[in-house]
């Protein structure tokens, strides 16, 4: 019975590979104190654990014979697979990667985004200022023009590089900004900033809700992106005017957030369906299918919206967009999305690394696959600009908007560019699969 007690004590601290191996070996020896099978068996290594995990969870099983059971390089193990999203993060970088996946934190920052207008003498214009940040507390104005930083002029073709360099290598900053004919200098100190992921603007009398990603922890430290959107919708529960949801360049994030956020707009029915390879409690592979169901009573239900997407709207953003399109009959405007209908589970490894493994596939509420196809918009635009979204609102809801030029800064160069690998459709494998 001592070995059983050891397994019970170890259950919450040891990895599944160790428990599975320990149980099998002890069952074969009758769990006898006269035998010491663990001592005579090679201890699991970082390589053997990752090999074991891939064999039991990786979605594309036809590639598993390519893996070398007796290899030594974990990087080579993952490189043998074709899926670019399945990857190994070494221990030295694992915590930073988990922070990036789970939070919107920007280490050592002032809390501003800018756009560049190359033809201007001072090209950098402040696009956003985060309220809960050094820039926000200092009162730096949105749409102000950056003239210099720490006495260094921000001019010419190298304006962006100059600004980024001074920002990177100095903790205390003095930023001169011109705004509406006045010039002011703001003295601020960098800190770790939790960026918002939901932004509200009004353009041509239309409210535009921009969702940049789906994170567990953002400026809303308790409820993340879901909390930000829910707070806005609850505050505007009585709004009847049509609104635009901007998902352009949104690379995705956490599955439980994009489905829960879709639920804010959908009264009943399926939000999304996923199938996946996972692990049973004994370490054996399992095959599962589940559908997320909507619950009635949220502030976005039955209201007028159009969602705007482009080819860089991916993964979790596609789960969200497809749910709105099929579950809430919300029109989609723009261009066909990226087409990433697969997702990844994350696993802590024996040596403190992080295994990110594609083991999920997603379907729309109507059971359609969009992997390598994308979500097709109802209102197609060759150039999916804000104007495209406003035209769709006029078509579907009869809300006329002016033809005057409106700022569409996200189409320009932003301080923090995003790509598909920065997002995804993530699930914590150790919580969801065991």
Residue 343 predicted with pLDDT over 70: yes
Residues 6+ apart with CB under 8 A from 322: 272, 364, 365, 368, 370, 375
* Average pLDDT of the residues of the chain: 88
Q: Which two tokens stand for residue 404?
A: 């005057």
Q: Which residues contact 285 (CB under 8 A, 6 or more apart)?
A: 55, 56, 57, 277, 278, 279
pLDDT band, residue 317 (cuts 50/70/90): very high
pLDDT at 204: 86
Give tens-digit pLDDT for 175-211. Answer: 999 999 999 999 999 999 999 999 999 988 999 999 9
CATH superfamily of 107-193: PDZ domain (2.30.42.10)
In contact, 70 and 48? CB cutoff 8 Å = no
DSSP state of 371: T
pLDDT at res. 26? 47
Average of per-residue pLDDT across 302-315: 97
Supply the pLDDT for residue 257.
95
Q: Are 293 and 271 in contact (CB under 8 A)?
A: yes
Least confident of 2-6, 75-79, 355-359, 371-375: 2-6
Kindly state the DSSP code that residue 141 receives in the 8-state scheme: P
pLDDT level of residue 428 (50, 70, 90 thresholds): confident
For the domain 196-432, what is the CATH superfamily, name and number?
2-enoyl-CoA Hydratase; Chain A, domain 1 (3.90.226.10)
Contacts of 238 (CB under 8 A, 6+ apart): none
What are 124's strand-pairing partners?
A: 116
What is the three-class DSSP state of 161?
A: helix
What is the domain partition of the chain in residue ranges? Answer: 1-43, 107-193, 196-432
Nearest residue to 316 (alpha-carbon basis) of 224, 207, 379? 224
411 vs 231 pLDDT, higher one: 231
Distance CA 300, CA 143 (A): 30
Task: Label the pairing between strands 87-89 and 124-129.
Answer: unpaired
What distance separates the 2 farthest-apart alpha carbons in the chain?
A: 87
* Segment (H or E) for 202: strand 198-203
């Amino acid at each position: 019975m001592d070995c059983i007690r050891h397994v019970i004590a170890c259950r919450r601290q040891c990895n599944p590979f160790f428990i599975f191996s320990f149980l099998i070996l002890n069952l074969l020896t009758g769990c006898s104190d006269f035998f010491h099978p663990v001592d005579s068996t090679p201890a699991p290594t970082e390589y053997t654990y990752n090999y074991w995990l891939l064999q039991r969870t990786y979605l594309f099983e036809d590639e598993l014979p390519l893996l070398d059971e007796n290899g030594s390089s974990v990087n080579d193990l993952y490189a043998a697979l074709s899926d670019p999203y399945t990857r190994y993060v070494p221990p030295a970088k694992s915590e930073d990667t988990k922070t990036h996946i789970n939070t919107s934190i920007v280490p050592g920052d002032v809390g501003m985004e800018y756009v560049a207008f190359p033809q201007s003498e001072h090209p950098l214009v402040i696009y956003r200022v985060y309220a809960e940040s050094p820039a926000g507390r200092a009162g730096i104005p949105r749409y102000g023009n950056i003239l210099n930083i720490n006495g260094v002029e921000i001019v010419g073709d190298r304006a962006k590089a100059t600004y980024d360099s001074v920002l990177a290598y100095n903790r205390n900053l003095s930023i001169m900004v011109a705004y509406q004919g006045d010039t002011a200098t703001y003295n601020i100190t960098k800190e770790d900033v939790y960026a918002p992921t939901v932004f509200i603007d009004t353009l041509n009398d239309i409210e535009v809700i921009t969702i940049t990603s789906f994170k567990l922890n953002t400026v809303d430290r308790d409820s993340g992106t879901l909390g930000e959107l829910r707070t806005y919708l609850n505050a505007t529960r009585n709004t009847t005017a049509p609104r635009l949801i901007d998902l352009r360049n949104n690379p995705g994030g956490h599955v439980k957030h994009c489905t829960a956020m879709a639920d804010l707009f959908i009264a009943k029915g399926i939000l999304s369906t996923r199938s996946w390879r996972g692990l049973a409690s004994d370490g054996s592979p399992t095959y599962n299918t589940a559908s997320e169901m909507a619950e009635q009573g949220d502030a976005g239900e039955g209201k007028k919206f159009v969602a705007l997407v482009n080819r860089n709207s991916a993964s979790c953003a596609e789960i969200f967009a497809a749910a709105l399109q099929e579950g809430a009959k919300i029109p989609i405007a723009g261009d066909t999305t990226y087409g990433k209908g697969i997702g990844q589970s994350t696993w802590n490894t024996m040596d403190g690394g992080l295994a990110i493994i594609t083991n999920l596939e997603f379907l729309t509420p109507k059971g359609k696959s969009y992997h390598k196809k994308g979500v097709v918009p109802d209102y197609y635009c060759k150039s999916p600009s804000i104007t495209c979204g406003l035209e769709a609102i006029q078509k579907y809801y009869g809300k006329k908007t002016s033809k005057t030029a409106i700022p569409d800064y996200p189409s320009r160069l932003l301080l923090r560019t995003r790509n598909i690998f920065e997002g995804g459709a993530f699930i914590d494998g150790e919580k969801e699969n065991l």
